[in-house]
Structure 1
Amino acid sequence: MLRRLAGDWRPSRLDVLLSLAVAVAGLVESFGRQGPEPWQIGDPFPFAAGAVAAGLVVLSRSMFPATSLLVLTAIGWAVQAVAGPGYYAAWHLYSTLILVHTVAGAAEPRSRRGLAGLGCVLLAYAHLQTLQSNDVAEVLIGAIFVGVAYGSGILLRRQIDQTRRLAEQAARLEAEREERARWAVAQERSRIARELHDVVSHNVSLMTLHAGGVRRLLGDDRARERDLLFAVEQAGREAVEELGLMLGMLRDAGAAPPSPQAGLDRLDELISQVAEAGPEVRLHVAGEPRPLPAGLGLSAYRVIQEALTNVLKHAHATRVDVVLRYAPGELRVTVVNDGVGVHAAGTGGHGLIGMRERTALHGGELSAGPTRSGEYRVLAVFPLPG
C-alpha cells in the first residue's frame, strides 16, 4: 500500500517551494552564523545536514503529515545530540510550524487520525522546549505560534471541505438543470409529434378519400387509371395506419378527445383570452396573408401562445404587441411587451425550449431578449415554401 501511495504521490508546487525555503534558509543560517560566540554556531555541518533533511521532510508533508512531524522531531533531537544544546536552529521552528499546520488540516480533530495528529503536535511542541533554556514567556510564545499553526490548519481544511461541498452541489444542480432541459425537450417533441400526427393523418386521409372518389367516377374503360388510383388509395391507408402505430403511442392514456387543431386563424380567440387577464394585446398583420401548411401554422400559433403565457406569468406587462409579417420567403412572428419582470417574455425555463424546438422544426430561427428601448421581444422567423 505504501508503494502504491508513493507511486501515486506527486509533490505540489507549494510543497517544493516550502521545502526549498526551509533547506536554503537552514543552510544560510548554518554557515552564516558560524562563530565562537554562544549565540553562534560552532560546527555548521550538523545544522546544515539537519536543514536539508528537514526540507525533504517538508517536501513529503502531504502524504504522511503526522509521520513527517515525528521524523522532523527526530531530526531535531539528532542535531541537538551531535552539536549540543547551545544553539537553537530557526529552521527547525519554521518547519515544525509548517508540519503542525499540515497535520491539523489533514483530518477532523475528533477522528482517530485527528487525535493521533494532535498527539504528534503536542510531542513536537514538548521537544521544542528542550532545545534551549526557555522562560515562561518563551514557552507561552511557542505555544501561541504552535496553536495558531494548528488552528489555521483546521480552518483551512473546513474551508476546503465547504468549497468542495459547494462545488459538488453546483455540479449536481447543473446536472439536474440539464436533465430538466432534456426532459422539457423530450416532452415538447412528444407534443409536437402528437400534433403532427393529427395534422398529417387528417391530410393523408383526405388525399385517400379524394383518390377513392375519383376512382369511382372513372368508367370501366379507364381500368389502368382506376388501378393507379386504387394503389394511391391503398398507400394512403397504409400510411395512416403506420402513423397510428408509430406516433399514436405518444398520446396520454385516457386523454380527452383532441380539440380542433390550432392555427393562426384562431389567433383572435387567443388574444382575447390573454387580454381578459389584464394586459392590452394588439395584433398587427403586415403583408398579404396566405394559406400556410398546417404544421407551420400550428407552430407559429404555439410560439405566440407560449410567449403570451410567459408574459402573463412573469412580465407584469401592461401592453403586448403581436406582429405577423408575411414576406415573400418567410413569416416573421414578433411578440413585444413592456414588462419589467425577471423573465419579461419567457427568457428562461421550458417555454423558450419549446419555442426553439417548434421554430427549428420548420428550419426557422428564434431569438429572445431585451431591446434597446427596455422592452422584451420574442422573434421567430419561419421560412415559407415558394
Structure 2
Amino acid sequence: MEEQHVRRPPWGPPPWARARGEEGAGPRWPWRSTLLITVFVLVGSHFAAGQQEGGRTAPDVFARVLLVLACGQLLWRVRRPVPVVFGTTATTAVYLGAGYPYGPVFVTVAVACFGAVVAGHRRAAWTAVGMLWAAHVLVGHWLYRWLPPSGDPAASWGQEGVIAAWVAAIVAFAELVRVRREQWARERAEQAQAARRRADEERLRIARELHDVLAHSISVINVQAGMGLALLDSDPEQARAALTTIKSASKEALGEVRQVLGTLRAPGDAPRTPAPGLDRLPELVEQAASAGLTVRVEGETPRLPPGMDLAAFRIVQEALTNVVRHSGSRHARVRLDRTDGPGDTGGPGDTDRLAGSAGSDGRGGPALRLRIDDDGPATGADAGGGGNGLAGMRERAAALGGTIEAGPRPGGGFRVLAVLPLTATADEEADR
C-alpha cells in the first residue's frame, strides 16, 4: 500500500492555530505576531501624526494606551475571535472619536476581522466593521462639533467612501481565505476517504489472494493426509506418495504466501516471481489429480494481460478446490473459450449453461469464458462453496467488469461460469 501524504496549502492553518489536544495545551498564543503589530502600529501612528499636524489631535499618553490596548487584544484572536473583533473595533472608534490621527490603528481591526471570518464568525466580523464605519460617519458628520480637535470641519463623503471600500476589501479578502480553507478541508477529507478506500481494496485483495492460495493447497493436503493415514499400514508406498504430495503442496503454498507478504513489505518493488496465470493450468491439473480429482481441460489457453490472467487462474483454482471439498465427483471439466460478440455461444457442447448466462460480456464485446463443471453429487449443504471462495471469485470478476454464475447444473452436478470482458486495451497488453 502506498502511503498517502496530504499537502498543506500555503494559507492553511498557521502553526499557532493547532487544534486543542494535538500537543496537549490548545492553540498557542500569537506573541510574536502581536508584538510586531504593536511596534508597527505605535511607530506608524507616530509618523502619521507628523503628516497630519494641524488637522488632528497630537497623540498623547491616552492615545498610546488605546493603541496598545487595541493591539494587546489580538493575543486572544485565536481563542476568542468574536470578543476580540468587537473589542478592537470599539477601541479604534474611541481613538478616532478623540480626534487622534488616522494611521495603522486600522490594522488591528483588519487582523481581528480576518481571524473572525476565517474562524467561521462571519456575522460578527461584518457587524463589527459595519459598526466601525457607522461610528466614523456619526463622528465625522455630527459629533465632530463637540469632540476634539476644536474647529475640526465635517469629514467629506469621499473620505467615507474610501473607508467603506477599505473595510469591504478587508472583509472580502478574509472571505476569500475562509472559502479557500473550507475547500482545502474538503479536499483533505476526500483524499483521506480515497486513501481509506484504497487501503480497504488492498486489504481485500490480499485477503482474497491468501484465501485462494491457502484454500486450494490445504484442501489438497487434507485429502492426501486422510489418504496417507488410511493407507499407512496397508500400503506404505501409497502413503509415502501422499506425504510427498503434501510436501510439494505445502512448499508451493509457502512460496505464494511469501510472494504476497513480500509485496506488503516492499510495495514499491516489483515482485520477485511472476504472478500465476493460465499457463500454470497443467500444474493445477496435477495437484487436483494428486487429490484424486481427474480434470479435463478443453480449449486453448489465450494470452491475457497479467491482471486478467491471474484472476482467471484463481477462479479456476477456487472452482476446482470447491469440487475437491464439496463434491462427490472425481471428474471435472475446465473449458476456455473466447467469444467475439452477443451471437457467439462460446463453443461447441455448451448447451446446458446456467439460466441467464451469456456468451459475451453482456455488452456485445469479446469476452473470455471459463466454465468449470463437475458431475456431483454434493457431499454437504455448502456444496459449491458458500463461504469466501465464491465471494472472492465474484469480486475478481467484478473488478474486471465481468460476471460469475455458480449453481447446480440441469443434468446434475455443479457449474461455475465466468465471463471476463476482453477490451482492446487488454488485447494490446497481452500481445506485447
TM-score, normalised via structure 1 length = 0.50
TM-score, normalised via structure 2 length = 0.45
